Amino acid sequence: MRNMKLTLKIWRQSGPNAKGEMKTYPVNDVSEDMSFLEMLDVLNDDLVRKGEEPIAFDHDCREGICGSCSLFINGEAHGPGRMITTCQLHMRKFKDGDTIHVEPWRSGAFPVIKDLAVDRSAFDRIQAAGGFVSVNTSGNLVDGNAVPIPKDDADTAFDAATCIGCGACVATCVNSSAMLFVAAKVSQFALLPQGKPEAKRRVLAMVEQMDKEGFGNCSNTGACEVECPKGISLEHIARMNREYLTASATKD
Amino acid sequence: MARSALLGSSLAKKYWMALTGLFLCTFLIAHLAGNLQLLDMSPEGQLKFNAYAKFMTTFPLVKLVSYVLYASILFHAFDGFLLAVQNRKARPVKYAHEKAGANSTWYGRQMALLGTLVLVFLIIHMKTFWYEMHWGELGLDVDGNKDLYTLVATVFTQWWYVALYVMSMLVLAYHLLHGFQSAFQSLGLNHPRYTPVIKNVGVFFAVIVPVFFALIPVWMFINA
Ligand code: HEM
Ligand code: SF4
Ligand code: FES
């Protein structure tokens, strides 16, 4: 298989307050077996050799489990392809001669740090507001199997817990809404007996923090579910809508 | 507390959007049922329609419901405006290259634009009929009722008004195509068994209701 020649149009921005722009980079010799990030590594290698500033982008595990990698590629979060992150996107999805647009996640709540890297700490603050179970873990461990949980509930909670906090849902939403992420984090506890005691406080606090961070509202377009690398379902958003409604109506 | 219950949070805003939106959907059914009487263009049909219009503008319970309706339209529009402003602010820098069609429908993303067009139509529509019925100079029919029928028939002899009406119903159809099922999701009413049913009913509703509304001016224009 012949290697590909591609034209990349990449967002460059030297710092948080700097003015950015789309810059064009030709890359030759791209193997279809490379991941998208490896292709960027090759480009960066080239830039460093030429004495230019390499392109900053987030990455860590490179196997689709950490949620670090981002990138809005050719108008879609994590590029074309479903149920994958950018590190799982292979260059065989592209053709020789293609032009590829690469932009950072765009959301007021995810400010650009540099080039393609954005600050997603808003997600951490939402999680810290209520996405936990308060238990004293010093010396009073309870056997996990001592609490019976219906299998379906356990499975649905697990599905919600597969959210890797990548932010593709926000990036792809026309309103920059974080509903899918927050709903996943609310659901993973709401379905389990361990999460029930704090359920009300949790959903109220997490939604309040979500609004404070400046994410948009949910229009139920469903784009997040399509672009989410873990296939988090809109059913979790409905569950959060229910949880929040009953919590607001019954809180003291 | 009061703040968060009414409009304080993003979710509360959506509950009100859904509740007012669904209430407006029930109103559409009632309004359509009344309007369909206009298809009977005989002299008796005209008298019957005028008598119905009188009942609708004078019967106390109907009047009460109509005030709730005006409030719902205004609140739905105001709430929608608040949501749209926040949504725009949430993405200060737009994408240079976007392929939104790959993951969502254009009408789902353009609810605010579609809603605004519906509002423009509602204003024109209420000026033409509602305002004239209440405060205009309408003649009386042989039963002594205000002759709304003749006003409607005259307005619908103008091709451009008929065209505006039909176009507006197309806009409404798209607003409902997304809005009907969206309202249930906003209220948290999502269920593996019922959601597919709600979605199908929504598509049916979004097509049938505007088509019948649009049929009336077209029918009256052709048979004038
Ligand atoms: C007969 C007239 C109307 C009906 C039956 C109707 C119905 C609905 C329904 C059922 C929804 C879904 C609510 C949800 O997503 O939870 C909705 C959403 C919406 N409507 Fe209307 N509507 C009407 C008129 C209007 C008008 C006049 C406006 C504004 C100027 C408007 C603006 C909106 C907006 C902005 C949304 C989307 C909110 C969001 O992003 O989630 N609508 N409508
Ligand atoms: S819900 Fe999906 S898209 Fe959103 S942060 Fe979690 S894994 Fe990423
Ligand atoms: S680098 Fe960890 S998910 Fe892509």
Q: Are B12 and A248 in contact (CB under 8 A)?
A: yes
Q: Cα separation of B60 and B110, whole Å?
A: 38
Q: Is the CB of A85 under 6 A from ligand 3?
A: yes
Reduced 3-state DSSP string for B71-117: HHHHHHHHHHHHHHHHHHHCCCCCCCCCCHHHCCCHHHHCHHHHHHH
Q: What tokens does A137 get?
A: 């873990």
pLDDT of residue B94: 97
Q: Where are the domains of chain A?
A: 4-113, 120-250
Q: Which ranges in chain A belong to alpha helices (H)?
A: 36-49, 121-130, 151-161, 168-172, 179-190, 199-212, 223-227, 234-250
Q: Where are the domains of chain B?
A: 8-91+108-222
Contact across the interface for A101 and B111, Cβ inside 8 Å:
no
For residue A90, the 8-state DSSP code is: B
pLDDT of residue A144: 77
Planar angle of CA B19, B22, B26, nearest 5 degrees = 135
Q: Which CATH number fits domain B8-91+108-222: 3.40.1280.10, 3.30.230.70, 1.20.1300.10, 2.130.10.10?
A: 1.20.1300.10
Q: What tokens does A144 get?
A: 């996990």
Contact across the interface for A217 and B190, Cβ inside 8 Å:
no
Q: Which ligand is nearest to the CA of A65?
A: 3
Work out the pLDDT band at B5, boundaries 50, 70, 90: low
> Which fold, A120-250?
Fumarate Reductase Iron-sulfur Protein; Chain B, domain 2 (1.10.1060)
Largest CA distance in chain A: 68
Q: Which of B10, B186, B192 sits opposite A211 (nearest CB)?
A: B10
Question: Which atom of ligand 3 is found nearest the CA of A59?
Answer: 1
Output helix, strand, coil percentages for chain B, rounded to the nearest 5.
80, 0, 20
- Whether A118 has a pLDDT exceeding 80, the answer reads yes
Radius of gyration of chain B from Cα atoms? 20
Q: Is the CB of A91 under 6 A from ligand 3?
A: no
Output helix, strand, coil percentages for chain A, rounded to the nearest 5.
40, 15, 45
Q: Cα separation of B20 and B71, whole Å?
A: 9
Q: What is the mean pLDDT of residues A149-175?
A: 97
Q: Is the CB of B84 under 6 A from ligand 1?
A: yes
| pTM given for the model | 0.95
For residue B41, the 8-state DSSP code is: -
Contact across the interface for B103 and A226, Cβ inside 8 Å:
yes
CB count within 10 Å of CB A158 equals 12
Work out the pLDDT band at A1, boundaries 50, 70, 90: low
Among chain A residues, CA nearest to B83: A217
Mean pLDDT lowest for which of A23-32, A45-54, A131-140?
A131-140
Q: What is the mean pLDDT of residues A24-49?
A: 97
- Whether A203 has a pLDDT exceeding 50, the answer reads yes
- A153-165 tens-digit pLDDT: 999 999 999 999 9
Q: Cα separation of A127 and A46, whole Å?
A: 39
Radius of gyration of chain A from Cα atoms? 20
Q: Which CATH architecture has domain A4-113?
A: Roll (3.10)
- B80-125 tens-digit pLDDT: 999 999 999 999 999 999 999 999 999 999 999 999 999 999 999 9
